[in-house]
Chains A and B, each alone.
Chain A
Amino acid sequence: MPDVQALVNDFVLKLKRRKIEGSHATAKQTAEILRSVVSQHRMPYTNQAASLIDAVRAVGEQMIAANPVELAVGNIVRRVLHIIREEDLSSTTTAIEGLGLSDDDVDGDENEDHPALSAAVLAAAARSTLRAPSLQTLLEDIPVSAAAPPNSSSGGDSEGRSKSAEKSSRSRKLKHDVIEAMNELIQDIDTCHEQISEQAVEHIHQNEVILTLGRSRTVKEFLYAAKEKKRSFRVFVAEGAPRYQGHVLAKELVAKGLQTTVITDSAVFAMISRVNMVIVGAHAIMANGGVVAPVGINMVALAAQKHAVPFVVVAGSHKLCPLYPHNPEVLLNELKSPSDLLDFGEFSDCMDFGIQGGSPLLHVVNPTFDYIPPKLVSLFITDTGGHNPSYIYRLIADYYSADDLVVQGKSTS
């Protein structure tokens, strides 16, 4: 697998040099690299899932460490780990169920300490291990983990004892299933814009005024979709200093025949009373329902709250991050080059290191992201539909398994 390592190194380097940016691009590339990691991985005879998970995790750690601000990388790594666990479990449970029907002895000596467990019970319990812990499984938990550690494929072991011939076919099957699921994931990342924009007509009504800030591809497609369905509405675009991506968006919208007004960022408060809905994109959605978004959006959210304007965030599910923003101002921001704000020629004479003990008087800070607390968000629109901020935990429980959050959390910090 040297060529995979080369691919990974290349990607890591690009991440470090900020050659690849944006959650969509990074998510897609991460998924593609992990797919080749999985397909090139040599499966051992026992504990295939565990070895696959280790391989993916090793690569994942490198990629997450390369640019921790790109949360989408970590999200995809965790999604892939979850996929492996899920596929492993589904094949294990079918194997156990099959064994339980045909041969009770194997099942009996597989868990000597719990002879009372029947095959069906074990299968049901194994299924529940992947689900996020809940009150329902609280009482069932301990014996399950004692009998069948979730990571190792205990079904695979018992099967190895009985029928070793089937094993090679099973190993190929696990890999095949995982790769298939990953292909689906990559396709989901590609098509998330379409699925989100399908919902546009439900949210944008005739003659409404929409405000957005900066440029987000998801927002653009969302507005296009509403326009295509013959809705006529007006869009206010705040320019999104200092990168002024709003100008680009305004041009694109006008090209599609949308009524567009460009305003400065500082005019958001002045205009918000005329707005019916704010729609913005996001960099990441955190586990508590908070949003990491391009700088300036928190101000828009506050303005929207002040005037009770719905604040809607559109984002694909690859932006769903299972981490909590412990200290968002410090942890999840990136400071860009000050040249966006000031030309070097203008401020180079202020940076006279001779005046004040070697430190310049002028500082230029250019943060990339804002953190918007969940209480300011009215609605999330993802490819699976509209959700309340307090519902995000459920999406996260569906997409990620609890084991991966902790391990990755440790490795990233």
Chain B
Amino acid sequence: MWRRSASFVVDKRYYQHDELPLAMDPQNPNPNPNPNANPLSAYYLTRAEHHAVVTSDWLAQAQAAVGRHPSPPPPPETIAGGGGGKERGFGVIDEFNYWRKKPDLAEAVAAIMALAAVIRSSEATTMMELEIELKTASDTLKSWDTTSISLSAGCDLFMRYVTRTSALEYEDFDAAKRRLIERGEKFGEISLKARRTIAMLCQDFIFDGCTILVHGFSRVVLEVLKLAASNRKLFRVLCTEGRPDRTGLRFSNELSALGVPVKLLIDSAVAYAMDEVDMVFVGADGIVESGGIINMMGTYQIALVAHSMNKPVYVAAESYKFARMYPLDQKDLAPALRPIEFGVPIPPGVEVEKSARDYTPPQYLTLLFTDLGALTPSVVSDELIQLYL
């Protein structure tokens, strides 16, 4: 009765993941105790931390401070010290986790910071040694969380930079190493700058009196709308609820603190509300080679509805989220699982779809706003080919 999807390979991985998270150990040269040895993906946990999954506690808190910006508690200032003393595999993950905790840093940035820390603590004396060390570290990172796209994209980008850039030629090893570390550490700055660039780019597209539909919580989209609000543009935002983590509630809270008129929708009201919408703005977890995006569950159906009603769908995402993947259908991704509460006990024998994100094909997207400029979806493959060919 139940037909298995064509991409049975993924299905296999799915079950493996479910039962035996340590099953990959034989392939992994640096077995690491994955702290999340449960069916929830690490990707989801990061999201939950950064985008503050809305619980009733949070709502009470928000209600208590109506209109006030709920500032997240400052991250503990315990410097992990590069993890120099520990074994390499552990060090890079600790480092990564340390950076990941920072609320403003994206995962790709954290990955690059962690790799830069690997270079710093490395005792390699030749470029080749360093490369091998970095490769192991980045493989460890990637296998630690196979579901995160921007993590692997960040690792790939940095590896590509280290191994093939022409900027390191004609230099002695120490200078090159210093340069790499510096570059890695500047990356956080680059990512913040990228968000500002994207916000600037989008300003021309937000006209007075428009209605914008947003889905979920995206820091880039928030930055865009913040800048638009501070430029005294008059616009209205429709926020989807973003079940089950209700990230839309958090987003609407941020927006109302800015004084932007916001309306909350349940996720199933998108088609109903689409006729009053002028444009759809979404973020992305990853932009894949076809120019499509991987984003929070529900993006695909919003894009479909918007496309059928001739509304533009804009994606705001930093360019380090460009990933070398080419998903052919929804099941082609390693699913990132998350818990879903229904409020009532689910009858036994009923399955629940727990995947946290979906793939939106490029034909439903109008433009991608990245720090490389406003791009059509087909540019993405061009950029990736230029970089990795």
Query: Is A191 in contact with chain B by the CB < 8 A criterion?
Result: no
CB < 8 Å: which of A142, A288, A326, A391 contacts B189?
Answer: A142
Number of interface residues of A (CB under 8 A): 32
Residue of A nearest to B384 (CB): A135
Query: Is B294 in contact with chain A by the CB < 8 A criterion?
Result: no
- Residues of chain B lying within 8 A (CB to CB) of residue A133: 319, 371-373
Contact-residue size bin, chain B (C-beta under 8 Å from the other chain): 35 or more
Given contacts A133-B371, A133-B373, A135-B157, whether A326 and B384 have CB atoms under 8 Å apart is no
Verify A287–B374 contact, CB threshold 8 A: yes
- Residues of chain A lying within 8 A (CB to CB) of residue B166: 124
Verify B319–A139 contact, CB threshold 8 A: no
Query: Is B235 in contact with chain A by the CB < 8 A criterion?
Result: no
- Proximity string of chain B (54-81) to chain A, C-beta cutoff 8 Å, 1 when within and 0 when not: 0000000000000000000000000000
- Residues of chain A lying within 8 A (CB to CB) of residue B387: 134-136
Given contacts A141-B190, A393-B375, whether A120 and B170 have CB atoms under 8 Å apart is yes
- Residues of chain B lying within 8 A (CB to CB) of residue A391: 378
Verify B378–A116 contact, CB threshold 8 A: no
| Distance between Cα atoms of A390 and B186 in the complex (Å) | 33
Verify A143–B182 contact, CB threshold 8 A: yes
| Distance between Cα atoms of A390 and B382 in the complex (Å) | 11
Q: 23 A-B contacts, Cβ less than 8 Å apart?
A: A116-B171, A118-B170, A121-B171, A133-B372, A134-B383, A135-B157, A135-B320, A135-B322, A136-B386, A138-B320, A139-B157, A139-B158, A139-B161, A139-B183, A139-B187, A141-B190, A143-B182, A143-B183, A390-B376, A390-B378, A393-B375, A394-B382, A413-B204
| Distance between Cα atoms of A139 and B108 in the complex (Å) | 13
Query: Is B344 in contact with chain A by the CB < 8 A criterion?
Result: no
Verify B372–A324 contact, CB threshold 8 A: no
Distance from B190 Cβ to chain A, minimum over Cβ atoms (Å): 6
| Distance between Cα atoms of A409 and B376 in the complex (Å) | 19
Query: Is A327 in contact with chain B by the CB < 8 A criterion?
Result: yes
| Distance between Cα atoms of A200 and B373 in the complex (Å) | 34
- Residues of chain A lying within 8 A (CB to CB) of residue B183: 139-140, 142-143
Query: Is A132 in contact with chain B by the CB < 8 A criterion?
Result: yes
Known contacts A134-B387, A393-B379, then 20 further A-B pairs from the complex at CB < 8 Å, ordered by chain A residue: A121-B167, A125-B167, A133-B372, A134-B372, A135-B157, A135-B372, A138-B157, A138-B320, A139-B157, A139-B161, A140-B167, A141-B190, A142-B189, A143-B183, A143-B186, A287-B374, A326-B204, A326-B207, A327-B207, A391-B378
Query: Is A281 in contact with chain B by the CB < 8 A criterion?
Result: no
Interface of A is mostly: helix
- Residues of chain B lying within 8 A (CB to CB) of residue A138: 157, 190, 319-320, 371
- Proximity string of chain B (306-346) to chain A, C-beta cutoff 8 Å, 1 when within and 0 when not: 00000000000001101000000000000000000000000
| Distance between Cα atoms of A142 and B161 in the complex (Å) | 14
Query: Is A296 in contact with chain B by the CB < 8 A criterion?
Result: no
Given contacts A124-B167, A142-B189, whether A135 and B207 have CB atoms under 8 Å apart is no
Which of A136, A140, A374, A409 has the most chain B CB atoms inside 10 A of its CB?
A136
Which of A132, A133, A394 has the most chain B CB atoms inside 10 A of its CB?
A133
- Residues of chain B lying within 8 A (CB to CB) of residue A326: 204-205, 207
B:341-373 near A, CB below 8 Å: 367, 371-373
Query: Is A289 in contact with chain B by the CB < 8 A criterion?
Result: yes
Residue of B nearest to A392 (CB): B376
- Proximity string of chain A (267-308) to chain B, C-beta cutoff 8 Å, 1 when within and 0 when not: 000000000000000000001110000000000000000000
Query: Is B169 in contact with chain A by the CB < 8 A criterion?
Result: yes
Nearest 3 A-B pairs (CB), nearest first? A390-B378, A116-B175, A135-B387
Distance from B43 Cβ to chain A, minimum over Cβ atoms (Å): 22
Distance from B361 Cβ to chain A, minimum over Cβ atoms (Å): 14
- Residues of chain A lying within 8 A (CB to CB) of residue B375: 393
